[in-house]
Structure 1
C-alpha cells in the first residue's frame, strides 16, 4: 500500500512539472507578442486607443469568468465531489489554455516560424479550454487528474485541427462555437466516458445526486454562465454591428430558453415541481443554440424561437434520453453535457445552415462582407455556404466521436480516482 501511495503521490506532480517545463520551452521558441502587444512594433502615429485590447479585453474577462467560475461551479452539484469539481476544473483549464495557444497558433497563426499572440489569442485559447471542460463534465467522478490532463492534451490537439478545417478550409461561420466548441466537446466527452465505462459504476449511482447546498453552489455557475454568454458568443466576431447583433441575439435566446425550461421542467415532473438539474443546465441551452447563427441576421424574433426550442429539447433530453443512453449504451453522462451542449449544439449548427440560405443577401446590405466574406466576394452563393455549414457539423461529429473512442486507449482497464478533498468521503465512486 505504501508503494501504491507513493506512486500516486508522485504521478501528478511529475506530470505537472514535465508538462509545464515543456510548455515554457515551446513558448520560448515559438511565441512572441503581436503588433498590438509589442513595444518594438509600436507605431507613434497610431492612436493608442485603437489597440485591440480596448475592444476585446472586456469580452475576454467575461469569457474567462465563464471558464473558471461558471464551468467550475456548475459541476459542484454532486454532493460529495464539489471540491474536485472546482479543483480539477482549475487545473485542467490552466493547462489547456497554454497548450491551446500553441496548437491554435501552429495551425492558424504561424508566421516566419513564430506565433504572434494578443488578446484575441487569449479568447480563442479560452474557447478551446471550454470544449475540454465540457468533456470534463461527461467524465466527472470517473477519472483522475492525471487522466484529465492526458485527455486535455489530445482533445486540444483534435479541437484545433477540427477548428482549422472548419474555419480555415471550409469557410464555416461559427462565431459562438455551436459546432467547434459545444458539439465537439460534448460528443468527445460522451465517447470517452463510454470507453471508460465499467460495471461497478452502477453501484455508486446513488452518489450521482445533489443536496441543498450543492445545488446552490451549482446555481452560482449557472447564473455566471447565463449572464456572460452574450460576451462568449460575440467575443471574436467582427467589430461593429456583427458583434452587437450576436450579443443581442444570444441575450433574447437565453431569455426565451429560460421560460421554456421552467415550463417544461414543471410539465414533465409527476408532481409539477421544478427540477434543479433542468434549471441549472437547460436554461443555458439557448446560448449554445445561438452560437452559430448569432452574428447572422437571425432577428430577435428568430433568436427567441431558437432559445425556446433549445430549452424544450434540453429538458426532454434530461428527462427521457439520458436514462436511455445510460441503460442501453452504457454512457454515464455525469453532468448531462449531451443535453446542455450536444443537442443544442447540433440545433445551433442546423439553425446556422438554414439561416445562411434563408436570409437573402440583400438583407445584409453592405454588412454582408463581415458575416459571409466568401459570399460577398462572389466565390460562393448562399446555398453553397449553407452546404458547407452542414458539412462542418458532420466533420465535427466525426472528429469528436472517433477521437473520443481512440484517446482513452487501455486506460479503462486500470482506473484510478483521486480527488481534491477535505475528507475521505469526497468521492463519486468508492
Structure 2
C-alpha cells in the first residue's frame, strides 16, 4: 500500500496543477471580459443550479458505507474542473465559429448544467475509479458532450435548452459504457452496501435535488413559469407513485429506501425534455407517473436480467434513475411535437426525423465515446484500482483515529 500511496500523491496533484495552468492560460486568450451586463440569467437561478449539483448530487452519492468522503469530495473536484473545462470548450467553439459571446452568468450556468453529465456518469463507476481516472473522464466527457450539443444545434436545429436537457441521457449511457470496462465487484462484498446512516445522507441529497429540480429545468427555458409549473407536478406525481410501487413490489410490504431514492426524481428528468410542449398539467402528471413506474420496475428487471448478461455493474443505478426516464422524456417530446404539428403534414416527417435523430445521436455518441474512454482508463498507465480496494475511502483520505495507514 505505501508504494500505491506514493503514486497517488505524485500523480494527482501534478495533474490537477497542470490542468489548472492550462485553463488559466486559455481563459486569458479566449475571454476579454465577463460579459455580466449581457447575461439573461439571474444570480438566484444560477445559485439554485449550483446548490443542486454540488449539495444534491454530492449527498445523493453517499449511500456506500465506506465511500462517503470520496463521494462528496470527488464530486466537488470534478464539478469545479468540469465547469472550467465546459466554459473553455463553449468559448473555443464560439471563437472558431466567429459568433457572439454569451453573458458571463449564462456561460457559467450552462457549464454547471453540462457538468451534470459527468456527475451522473460518476455514479455508474462510483468506488471503482481513482482520482486520475475521474479527472480524465471529466475532461473527455465535457468536451464530447459540448461537441454533441453543437452538432444537435447546428445541423439538427435543436433548441439550446432542449439540447442541454440531453445531459441526463448522455451522462447515463456514457457512464454505463465506461463501467462495462471495469471489473465487477464480488456480489458478497461487504463494502458494496449501505447503512441506515449512509442511506439517510443519500436521501438528504435526493431531497435537495427534488427541491431544486424545477430551477434546473427552467434555467435555460424560454417560458420559465411553464417549465417550473410542469416540472413540479411531474415530480410530485413521481414521488407519490414511488411510495405506492415500493410497497407493492417488496416482499414484506414495506417502503424500500432505494426505490424512493431514485424514483422520486424520475418525473423531473422526463419532463425536462418536453416541458415547452406541455400545455396542460395533467400531461406532466402522466409523464411523472410513467417515469416512476419504469424506474422501479426497470431497476428490478435490469439488475436481475440484463446487467448479469452484459457484465455491467451500475454502482448507483444511473440507468434506471436517469437513463430510462430520459428515454421516456425524449420519446414524449417527439409525440407531443407530432401532435402539435399534426395539421402540417409536409413538415411532420421532417420534425419526426430531427427529434429522433438528435435522440439517437446523443445515445450513440455517449455509448461509443464512453466505451473508448473506459478502455483508455483501464490502461496500466492510470493504475486501475484492484477489485479488493473498490468502495474504500481509506485509500485516499486521512482517518486520524484509525491505526491502519499508508
Q: Same fold (TM over 0.5)?
A: yes
The answer (yes or no) to whether the contact 2:149–2:163 under 8 Å persists in 1 is no
2:316 is the counterpart of 1:316? no
Match of 1:421? 397
CA distance 1:178–1:383, change in 2 (3 Å): farther
CA distance, structure 1, for counterparts of residue 164 and residue 256 of structure 2? 25
2:248 is the counterpart of 1:232? no
CA distance 1:34–1:5, change in 2 (3 Å): closer
1:119-130 matches, within 5 Å, as 119-130=105-116
Match of 2:121? 135
1:347-358 matches, within 5 Å, as 347-358=328-339
Match of 1:390? 356
| CA distances 1:41-92 after superposition (whole Å, capped 9, x unpaired) | xxxxxxxxxx636x43222111101110001100001111111100110100
CA distance 1:315–1:381, change in 2 (3 Å): same
CA distance 1:35–1:353, change in 2 (3 Å): same
Unaligned stretches of 5+ in structure 2?
none
Deviation (angstroms), 1:383: 4.2
Match of 2:366? 400
Deviation (angstroms), 1:324: 2.5
CA distance 1:17–1:115, change in 2 (3 Å): farther
The answer (yes or no) to whether the contact 1:32–1:116 under 8 Å persists in 2 is no
Deviation (angstroms), 1:2: 4.8
The answer (yes or no) to whether the contact 1:243–1:295 under 8 Å persists in 2 is no
CA distance, structure 1, for counterparts of residue 310 and residue 70 of structure 2? 27
Match of 2:322? 341
| CA distances 1:74-133 after superposition (whole Å, capped 9, x unpaired) | 000111111110011010001000000011222346565985551111111011100000
CA distance, structure 2, for counterparts of residue 323 and residue 109 of structure 1? 48
Unaligned stretches of 5+ in structure 1?
38-50, 363-374
Match of 2:12? 12
1:143-222 matches, within 5 Å, as 143-173=129-159, 175=161, 180-196=166-182, 198=183, 201-202=185-186, 205-222=189-206
Match of 1:24? 24
Say what the alpha-carbon RMSD is for the aligned residues. Answer: 2.5
Deviation (angstroms), 1:30: 0.8
Out of 322-331 and 335-344, give the one that drifted further.
Answer: 322-331
**After TM superposition, where is structure 1 displaced by more than 6 Å over at least 4 residues in a row?**
none
CA distance, structure 2, for counterparts of residue 207 and residue 425 of structure 1? 20
CA distance, structure 2, for counterparts of residue 114 and residue 204 of structure 1? 55
The answer (yes or no) to whether the contact 2:180–2:374 under 8 Å persists in 1 is no
Match of 1:371? none
Deviation (angstroms), 1:176: 5.8
CA distance, structure 2, for counterparts of residue 300 and residue 316 of structure 1? 25
Question: Aligned to 2:39, which of 52, 59, 68?
Answer: 52
The answer (yes or no) to whether the contact 1:75–1:137 under 8 Å persists in 2 is yes
Deviation (angstroms), 1:422: 4.4
CA distance, structure 1, for counterparts of residue 170 and residue 86 of structure 2? 15
Deviation (angstroms), 1:260: 1.0
Question: Aligned to 1:85, which of 71, 89, 93?
Answer: 71
Determine helix, strand or coil for the equivalent of 1:188: helix
CA distance, structure 2, for counterparts of residue 99 and residue 411 of structure 1? 19
CA distance, structure 1, for counterparts of residue 301 and residue 238 of structure 2? 19
Deviation (angstroms), 1:227: 0.6
TM-score for both structures, normalised by structure 2: 0.90
CA distance 1:342–1:424, change in 2 (3 Å): farther
Deviation (angstroms), 1:255: 0.5
The answer (yes or no) to whether the contact 1:178–1:288 under 8 Å persists in 2 is no
Deviation (angstroms), 1:280: 1.1
| CA distances 1:130-181 after superposition (whole Å, capped 9, x unpaired) | 0000000000000001100000111011101111111232112473668520
2:68 is the counterpart of 1:96? no
CA distance, structure 1, for counterparts of residue 305 and residue 18 of structure 2? 41
CA distance 1:176–1:248, change in 2 (3 Å): farther
CA distance, structure 1, for counterparts of residue 117 and residue 54 of structure 2? 13
Determine helix, strand or coil for the equivalent of 1:408: helix
